[in-house]
C-alpha cells in the first residue's frame, strides 16, 4: 500500500502534510535487546511520548564474519520494523557504515579492518564493501519504507564524519555524497536523509542533526568536569564536548540558518566507562531538555531512550574497549545508559520526566515550531555563572513561552526571592506575579496562549502539559507547585483550565475510552497496548492499586471499585495479591579471593509465576560485577553507587544466579560522583538483595 502522507522540512522545522511537526525521537538498538520483548518495549516508548524510533544498524552485529549475514533473533531487522509499524511508531534507520555507538571498532567488523584499504575514505575497494552492506540491509527493509506504507521515514548516513575520523573539507563532503548515492542506489528512498553536524563534521548537504550530553564519560580525566554548556540558553548549536575522545572538530560546516535546529543525540542518560562513571539523574536530562527547547530546538531526539545489552559475538566481545584500540573501556554487556527505559525494560524516573515535554509537544507542538527564540541580554552565557538567572523566550508575534532554568548539573545555583519575571513583546511587556526561584528550579510559562477560538490565556505561572479533547469541551491541563494565577481574556466557553502538581503530572498518562480522552494519574506506568491499557506494577504480598482519573469514567473498570474523589480526580482502586519470589544469597567462600567475592543467589518463585518479570535488586560495593546464568556470562555492571536491577524473564526465570563482585580500592583511577566509605583493603560485597515481581493489570 502506497503512503500519501508527506514529510518534509523548512529552514525552521519539520513538516507533516504541509503543517509544522515537532516529533519526539528515541534511540533503541534492536540488536541490543531480545526480540521477544521488542513489542512491549516499543509500546512503552510510545506511552512515554516517543513518535519516532531511531536505531543503528550495526555492521558487526550483522556480518561479524565476512559474507555470513545474521538477521535472526535480536538481529532481525525486518521483524523489528514490522513490530514498530504494528505499534504505530515511525522509524529512522542509522545505517552507518561506521556508527561508534560504543561498539567494537565503531561497528566495523574485524575482517573489514584487516583489508588493505583505509576505511572511511573514498577508496573504491572500501566503498564496494559499503555498497554490498547497504544492499544487504535493504533486503530486510524492502517494502517497509514510508512510500510503501512502512514506518521508515529517514536514514542517517555515517556518524560524526570529519569530526571523529574520516575526511574533512571537500573530500569529506564528497565522501558523504557518495555514501548517500550508494544508499539511494540500494533502494533507500525516504523523505529524510540526515548526518550528524556537530564539531566540524561534514554533512554532504544532508539535513544536519545535533546533540548534547550532561557529562562526558569518555573524557580521560577522573576529576570533576567543567559545567556543561547545555544548561545555558544560547544560539550556539554545537556541543564541542561530543566525541572529544576521538578527535575534536571546530564549529559547524553547514549554514545554520538554512536548516531547522534538530537534535538526534540529546543524552537520554549517559553510558559509564571504566575510568569515568557519572550518574545521569532525571533532573539532569529534564533541565537540559527544557534548555534546548528554549534555545530553539524543533526535534527532541534522545540517545539512548531505551538501554540494552550487547549480544554475544562469535569471534570477540562486541563492546568498545582499549584492547580494540579505543580510549575507553565499556562494560562487556551492559548498555544501560541510565536511559529513560533501562536495560531490562524498566521505565525510569527520567522516562517520567521527559514525558512532561512529550505530552506538551503532542498538543502544542505545531504552533510551538513556528516560534523563534529570543535570549535576553542579561541571560548568562557562561555555565560557570551560578548567580544570575537564565531565561529565554520563544514566541511568534505576542504568543509564546518564557523559559527559566536555575539548574546546573553538579552546581549549587543562587536562590532568587520575589522575582518578577517579564517578557518583552511587540505590543507591550507582560509580567508574572512575583515568586521565589530556588536552586534547581526549571520551568516554562505560557503567554497569550489561545484557549479555543474565543479566549486567550494572557499568562499563567504554570507549565502546559496537554489538552484533553472531549465532546463537551476541551480541558487544558497545566502543572506546577505554585499558584497558577490564570489571567484570561475573552470567554473560554466550556473549555476548562485545570492545574495539577508537578509530581502528579510526572505520573500522568493520557488515555482514550471510546471517543473521549481522560487523564489518569498512577504511581505505576500505564501503557496502551493493542487497544487496551495495562498498568505495570510491582507488589509485595498484598497491596492496593489506585488510579485517579479526570474526568470521571462513565463506568467503573472491571475489577476496580470507585473509592471517592480527590480534588478533580475520581479514585479507583483494586485490592491485589500476588506472589513475591524469595531469594537467598550465599557467599561462595571457597571460590572467592582477595580480589573478588563470588555469590550464589537461589530463587524460589513459590509457584508458576504469572509475573511479567522478576527483578533482582542488588545493593553492592565493588569496582564492578558480573552476572552468570548456568555458568555463562550474561551481564555486567560498573559500580556507580546505584542499586543494580536484573530482569530475569529473559533468562527463563532461573532458579540460580551467580554473581562475581570485583574489589574496589581507594587508589583506583576511577571517577565516582560519590565514593563509598572503604576500608584500607577496599571492598567487594553485596550489602542487600531483594526480589520484586512485576505484574500487568488491564484497566
**Residue 25: strand pairing partners:** 52, 301
Residues 273 and 140 in one domain: yes
Q: What angle do CA 302, 307, 310 make, to 5 degrees?
A: 125
Residues 489 and 598 in one domain: no
**Distance, CA of 296 to CA of 22 (rounded, Å):** 12
- DSSP 3-state percent helix, strand, coil across the chain (nearest 5): 20, 35, 45
- Residue among 664, 671, 111, 45 nearest 345 (CA): 45
Domain-terminating residue out of 577, 604, 636: 577
User: What pLDDT score was predicted for residue 241?
Assistant: 67
User: What pLDDT score was predicted for residue 248?
Assistant: 40
Residues 280 and 135 in one domain: yes
CA 266 from chain centre, in angstroms, equals 8
In a domain, 125, yes or no: yes
Cβ(653)–Cβ(610) below 8 Å: no
Residues 381 and 401 in one domain: yes
The total of other beta-carbon atoms located within 10 Å of residue 356's CB is 22
User: What pLDDT score was predicted for residue 495?
Assistant: 83
Give me the domain span that covers residue 484: 464-530+541-577
Domain-terminating residue out of 397, 428, 450: 450
Query: Could you report the per-residue pLDDT of 301-330, keeping only the tens digit for each?
Result: 999 999 999 999 999 999 999 998 899 999
Average pLDDT over residues 446-451: 96
At residue 589, what are phi and psi to the nearest 5 degrees? Answer: -60, -40
Q: Name every residue whose Cβ is closer than 8 Å to that of residue 558 and which is 6 or more positions away in sequence.
A: none
User: What pLDDT score was predicted for residue 419?
Assistant: 97
Residues 280 and 352 in one domain: yes
Residues 61 and 41 in one domain: yes
At residue 386, what are phi and psi to the nearest 5 degrees? Answer: -105, 10
In a domain, 378, yes or no: yes
Match 517579564 to its residue by C-alpha cell: 422
Biggest CA–CA distance in the chain, Å, is 79
Question: What confidence category does residue 433 fall into, taking pLDDT thresholds of 50, 70 and 90?
Answer: very high
In a domain, 162, yes or no: yes
Sign of the C-alpha dihedral computed for residues 270, 272, 276 and 278 taken in this order: positive
Residues 357 and 403 in one domain: no
User: What pLDDT score was predicted for residue 439?
Assistant: 98
Pairing relation of β-strands 516-521 and 487-490? unpaired
What SS3 class is residue 162?
coil
At 675, list the grid cell: 565514593
Residues 272 and 312 in one domain: yes
- DSSP letter string, 425-449: -TT--EEPPPEEE-TT-EEEEEEEE
**Residue 416: strand pairing partners:** 437
Query: Could you report the per-residue pLDDT of 489-533, keeping only the tens digit for each?
Result: 998 877 899 999 999 999 999 999 888 999 999 999 999 988 889
In a domain, 324, yes or no: yes
In a domain, 1, yes or no: no
| Rg of the chain taking only CA atoms, in angstroms | 25
What SS3 class is residue 47?
helix
Query: Could you report the per-residue pLDDT of 14-58, keeping only the tens digit for each?
Result: 999 999 999 999 999 999 999 999 999 999 999 999 999 999 999
The total of other beta-carbon atoms located within 10 Å of residue 648's CB is 22
Query: Could you report the per-residue pLDDT of 150-200, keeping only the tens digit for each?
Result: 999 999 999 999 999 999 999 999 999 999 999 999 999 999 999 999 888
Say whether pLDDT at 227 is over 80: yes
In a domain, 2, yes or no: no
Instruction: Look at the chain and count its residues.
Output: 699
**Distance, CA of 436 to CA of 625 (rounded, Å):** 45
Say whether pLDDT at 243 is over 60: no
Residues 350 and 392 in one domain: no
Query: Could you report the per-residue pLDDT of 525-581, keeping only the tens digit for each?
Result: 999 988 889 999 998 766 889 999 999 999 999 999 999 999 999 999 999 888 788
Pairing relation of β-strands 300-306 and 263-267? parallel
Can you give the pTM of this predicted structure?
0.97
**Distance, CA of 410 to CA of 677 (rounded, Å):** 21
Say whether pLDDT at 235 is over 90: no
**Distance, CA of 570 to CA of 553 (rounded, Å):** 8
**Distance, CA of 456 to CA of 458 (rounded, Å):** 6
**Distance, CA of 454 to CA of 325 (rounded, Å):** 64
**Distance, CA of 467 to CA of 237 (rounded, Å):** 31
Residues 354 and 409 in one domain: no
Average pLDDT over residues 467-478: 94
- Residue among 209, 192, 206, 205 nearest 154 (CA): 192
List, edge to edge, every strand of the sheet that includes 455-459. Answer: 372-374, 390-396, 399-405, 442-450, 455-459, 487-490
Please report, for the domain that includes residue 688, its CATH number: 2.60.120.260
Please report, for the domain that includes residue 350, its CATH number: 3.20.20.80
**Distance, CA of 500 to CA of 522 (rounded, Å):** 13
Look at the chain and report how many structural domains it folds into.
4
Sign of the C-alpha dihedral computed for residues 143, 149, 152 and 153 taken in this order: positive
The pairs formed by 493-501 with CB atoms below 8 angstroms and a separation of 24 or more are 493/452, 493/454, 493/455, 495/451, 495/452, 495/455, 497/451, 497/457, 497/460, 498/550, 498/568, 499/462, 500/465, 500/568
Question: What confidence category does residue 250 fall into, taking pLDDT thresholds of 50, 70 and 90?
Answer: low
Residues 506 and 549 in one domain: yes
In a domain, 456, yes or no: no
The pairs formed by 108-116 with CB atoms below 8 angstroms and a separation of 24 or more are 108/59, 108/60, 109/59, 109/60, 109/63, 109/64, 109/65, 109/66, 110/60, 110/64, 110/315, 110/316, 111/65, 111/66, 112/59, 112/66
Query: Could you report the per-residue pLDDT of 329-346, keeping only the tens digit for each?
Result: 999 999 999 999 999 999
Residues 132 and 155 in one domain: yes
In a domain, 587, yes or no: no
Amino acid at each position: 500500500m502506497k503512503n500519501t502522507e508527506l514529510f518534509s522540512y523548512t529552514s525552521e522545522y519539520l513538516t507533516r502534510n504541509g503543517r509544522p511537526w515537532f516529533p519526539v525521537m528515541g534511540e533503541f538498538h534492536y540488536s541490543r535487546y531480545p526480540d521477544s520483548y521488542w513489542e512491549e518495549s516499543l509500546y512503552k516508548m510510545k506511552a512515554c511520548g516517543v513518535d519516532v524510533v531511531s536505531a543503528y544498524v550495526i555492521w558487526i552485529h550483522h556480518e561479524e564474519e565476512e559474507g555470513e549475514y545474521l538477521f535472526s533473533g535480536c538481529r532481525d531487522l525486518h521483524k523489528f520494523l514490522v513490530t514498530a509499524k504494528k505499534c504505530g511508531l515511525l522509524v529512522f534507520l542509522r545505517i552507518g557504515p561506521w556508527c561508534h555507538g560504543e561498539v567494537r571498532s565503531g561497528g566495523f567488523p574485524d575482517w573489514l579492518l584487516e583489508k588493505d584499504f583505509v576505511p572511511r575514505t573514498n577508496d573504491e575497494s572500501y566503498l564496494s564493501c559499503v555498497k554490498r552492506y547497504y544492499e544487504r540491509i535493504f533486503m530486510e527493509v524492502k517494502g517497509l519504507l514510508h512510500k510503501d506504507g512502512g514506518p521508515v521515514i529517514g536514514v542517517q548516513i555515517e556518524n560524526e564524519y570529519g569530526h571523529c575520523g574520516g575526511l574533512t573539507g571537500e573530500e569529506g563532503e564528497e565522501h558523504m555524497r557518495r555514501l548517500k548515492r550508494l544508499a539511494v542506489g540500494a533502494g533507500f528512498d525516504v523523505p529524510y536523509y540526515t548526518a550528524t553536524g556537530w564539531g566540524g563534521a561534514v554533512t554532504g548537504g544532508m539535513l544536519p542533526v545535533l546533540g548534547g550530553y550532561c557529562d562526558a564519560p569518555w573524557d580521560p580525566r577522573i576529576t570533576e568536569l567543567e559545567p556543561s554548556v547545555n544548561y545555558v540558553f544560547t544560539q550556539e548549536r554545537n556541543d564541542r564536548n561530543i566525541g572529544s575522545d576521538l578527535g575534536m572538530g571546530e564549529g559547524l560546516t553547514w549554514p545554520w540558518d538554512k536548516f531547522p535546529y534538530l537534535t538526534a543525540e540529546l543524552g537520554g542518560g549517559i553510558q559509564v566507562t571504566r575510568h569515568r562513571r557519572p550518574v545521569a539523574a532525571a533532573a539532569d536530562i529534564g533541565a537540559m531538555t527544557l534548555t534546548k527547547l528554549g534555545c530553539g530546538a524543533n526535534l527532541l531526539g534522545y540517545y539512548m531512550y531505551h538501554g540494552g545489552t550487547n549480544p554475544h559475538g562469535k569471534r570477540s566481545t562486541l563492546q568498545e574497549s582499549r584492547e580494540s584500540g579505543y580510549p575507553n573501556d565499556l562494560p562487556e554487556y551492559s548498555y544501560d545508559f541510565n536511559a529513560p527505559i533501562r536495560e531490562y525494560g524498566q521505565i525510569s524516573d527520567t522516562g517520567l520526566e521527559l514525558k512532561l515535554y512529550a505530552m506538551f509537544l503532542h498538543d502544542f507542538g505545531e504552533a510551538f515550531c513556528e516560534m523563534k527564540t529570543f535570549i535576553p541580554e542579561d541571560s548568562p552565557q557562561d555555565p560557570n555563572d551560578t548567580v544570575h538567572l537564565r531565561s529565554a523566550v520563544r514566541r511568534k508575534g505576542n504568543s509564546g513561552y518564557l523559559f527559566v532554568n536555575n539548574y546546573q548539573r553538579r552546581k549549587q545555583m543562587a536562590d532568587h526571592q520575589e522575582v518578577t519575571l517579564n517578557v518583552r513583546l511587540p505590543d507591550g511587556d507582560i509580567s508574572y506575579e512575583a515568586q521565589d526561584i530556588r536552586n534547581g528550579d526549571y520551568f516554562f510559562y505560557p503567554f497569550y496562549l489561545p484557549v479555543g477560538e474565543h479566549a486567550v490565556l494572557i499568562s499563567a505561572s504554570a507549565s502546559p502539559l496537554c489538552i484533553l479533547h472531549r465532546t463537551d469541551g476541551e480541558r487544558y491541563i497545566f502543572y506546577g507547585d505554585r499558584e497558577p494565577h490564570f489571567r484570561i481574556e475573552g470567554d473560554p466557553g466550556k473549555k476548562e483550565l485545570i492545574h495539577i502538581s508537578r509530581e502528579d503530572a510526572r505520573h500522568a498518562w493520557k488515555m482514550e475510552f471510546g471517543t473521549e480522552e481522560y487523564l489518569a494519574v498512577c504511581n505505576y506506568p500505564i501503557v496502551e497496548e493493542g487497544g487496551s491499557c495495562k498498568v505495570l506494577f510491582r507488589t509485595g504480598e498484598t497491596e492496593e492499586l489506585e488510579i485517579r482519573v479526570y474526568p470521571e469514567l462513565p463506568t467503573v473498570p472491571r475489577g476496580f471499585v470507585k473509592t471517592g474523589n480527590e480534588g478533580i480526580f475520581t479514585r479507583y482502586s483494586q485490592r491485589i495479591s500476588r506472589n513475591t519470589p524469595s531469594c537467598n544469597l550465599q557467599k561462595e567462600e571457597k571460590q572467592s579471593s582477595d580480589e573478588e567475592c563470588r555469590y550464589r543467589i537461589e530463587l524460589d518463585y513459590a509457584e508458576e509465576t504469572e509475573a511479567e518479570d522478576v527483578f533482582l535488586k542488588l545493593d553492592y560495593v565493588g569496582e564492578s560485577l558480573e552476572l552468570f546464568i548456568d555458568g555463562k556470562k550474561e551481564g555486567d555492571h560498573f559500580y556507580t553507587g546505584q542499586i543494580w536491577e536484573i530482569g530475569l524473564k529473559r533468562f527463563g526465570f532461573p532458579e540460580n544466579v551467580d554473581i562475581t563482585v570485583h574489589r574496589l580500592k581507594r587508589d583506583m583511577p576511577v571517577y565516582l560522583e560519590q565514593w563509598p566509605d572503604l576500608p584500607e583493603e577496599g571492598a567487594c560485597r553485596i550489602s542487600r538483595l531483594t526480589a520484586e515481581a512485576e505484574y500487568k493489570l488491564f484497566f
